[in-house]
Structure 1
Amino acid sequence: MGSDTIEHIFGAAVCVFAESGFERARMDEIARRAGVAKGTIYYHFKSKEELFVALMNNGMERLTAYLRRRLAQVEDPQEQLGEILDAQVRYLYDNGTFAKLLISEVWGSIERQRVFRARIRDLVSIIEEVIRRGEKEGSFRTLKVQETAVAIFGAISVAVLQELFRFEEQERQDVKEERIPDLVRNLETLIHHGLIYKEAE
């Protein structure tokens, strides 16, 4: 039982948790959708809580890795900030069920909060690195870096979540190539001219 089995379990679990909520989600249903025995799930995860934490941890790690890959393609801080906006919007948009769980279920137990805060911290630190580099090079205003990075992360997340709840899955995929650039442009306008970039002299 390798990584493929765990991926099947994660794929089923994210749907069941999103549809039923953590409390009402049943391991039997997750096993059925994953095409595995319930004992197989318990072989990998001791409890529903452990499965949920691992699922969210996996999703956040993938988002972090995706952001870092995108940032490695450019060096200019302004371009890197654009990469962050586009990458986070695309990842959350393409993983809408996971994105909804971030808001609806992740604040439950102490363990979930601990893991979630650590992963958000990882993501925010990436944004902080870009802001600090931009400040050093004179591209960005001098602001409170951590608070600004958190605000940027939050603005992106809420903008995408609004979109996820606005459209059903199939409709969202149909308009994806139109809506994602619109979201990114709107966020760029907000952040570039309102929060980060120096005013033209």
Structure 2
Amino acid sequence: MARLSEKKKAVLESMMRESLFAAAKRLLEEEGWRGTTMERLAQEAGVSKGTVYNYFRDKREILCFVVERNTEELRRFIRSIDPEAGDPRRILGDVLEGLFEGLYRNRRVIAATIQAYHEDEELRREDFDPRRHPLWDVRVFIRRVLVRGVEEGFFRSVDPALTEAAINAVAVGLARQFSLDMLDVPGDDFAAAVRDLILEGLCPREALNP
């Protein structure tokens, strides 16, 4: 029997990871952190438990994998933008909208993530450093845009580090409210509304429509 080519192996590997991602995301959304187990993931993906262990050491790695994949689109987007070129207001607005659209779209997985951090001491200990979070590069990018926007007069004279931390706190706070079912906002309005609240706080009103 002919051996599989490396290209075909890579395709099969990619398909398996996509299948596991889709199954893990559904499981976290529907069953939460407590209901997500290696056995349930195997059942959801239609593979053996041993296959799941070929990819993940435990359910902590499942969660980290899903979080990384859920933020991949936004991270790819910021890599396509030069923070030193173009209108900082438009750049920041686009990134904020992507950030909060992702938060809303993945709110059930985020709820499972928050539950996991509350209940799993080892997970908290492993991920204590915020620089290890998949969105760290997005936070750094936002700060760079803020620095330039303040220096060039597009934004009010605010502290970029403090402002970025406040934006992050808004995202974290909204995520917690979603996780507790305390916020019921239509998805079509959510990201744009939060984006505009932040931009209006940064920009003089006459500068919002250059």
Alignment of 1:116-195 (within 5 A): 117-156=132-171, 158-159=173-174, 162=177, 165=181, 166=183, 176-177=187-188, 179-180=189-190, 183-188=191-196, 190-194=197-201
Per-residue deviation, 1:131: 0.3
Per-residue deviation, 1:3: 1.5
Give the Cα separation in 2 of the matches to 1:23 and 1:96: 17
| Mean CA deviation greater in 78-87 or 137-146 | 137-146
Cα deviations by residue, 1:131-166 (Å, 9 ceiling, x for unpaired): 011012111123221221121133245446656844
User: 2:114 aligned with 1:103, yes or no?
Assistant: yes
Cα deviations by residue, 1:151-187 (Å, 9 ceiling, x for unpaired): 11332454466568445xxxx8xx543x24xx41354
Per-residue deviation, 1:80: 0.8
Taking structure 1 as the reference length, the TM-score comes to 0.75
Aligned to 1:54: 65
Cα deviations by residue, 1:41-92 (Å, 9 ceiling, x for unpaired): 11111222222222223323443223444x4698200111110221112222
Per-residue deviation, 1:200: 6.0
Alignment of 1:86-101 (within 5 A): 86-101=97-112
Taking structure 2 as the reference length, the TM-score comes to 0.72
Asked whether the 8 Å contact 1:59–1:98 carries over to 2, the reply is no
User: 2:60 aligned with 1:45, yes or no?
Assistant: no
The DSSP-based 3-state class of the residue aligned with 2:193 is helix
Give the Cα separation in 1 of the matches to 2:23 and 2:109: 11
Cα deviations by residue, 1:114-142 (Å, 9 ceiling, x for unpaired): 47753342221111011011012111123
Asked whether the 8 Å contact 1:15–1:97 carries over to 2, the reply is no
The match for 1:197 among 200, 203, 209 is 203
1:191 counterpart letter in structure 2: I
The match for 2:93 among 82, 95, 106 is 82
Give the Cα separation in 2 of the matches to 1:59 and 1:157: 16
2:152 counterpart letter in structure 1: E
RMSD: 3.2
Asked whether the 8 Å contact 1:85–1:156 carries over to 2, the reply is no
| Mean CA deviation greater in 57-66 or 44-53 | 57-66
Change in CA separation of 1:65 and 1:101 when aligned onto 2, cut-off 3 Å: farther
Q: Which residues of structure 2 form unaligned runs of 5+?
A: 1-11
Per-residue deviation, 1:25: 2.3
Give the Cα separation in 2 of the matches to 1:115 and 1:21: 23
- Matched pairs, number: 189
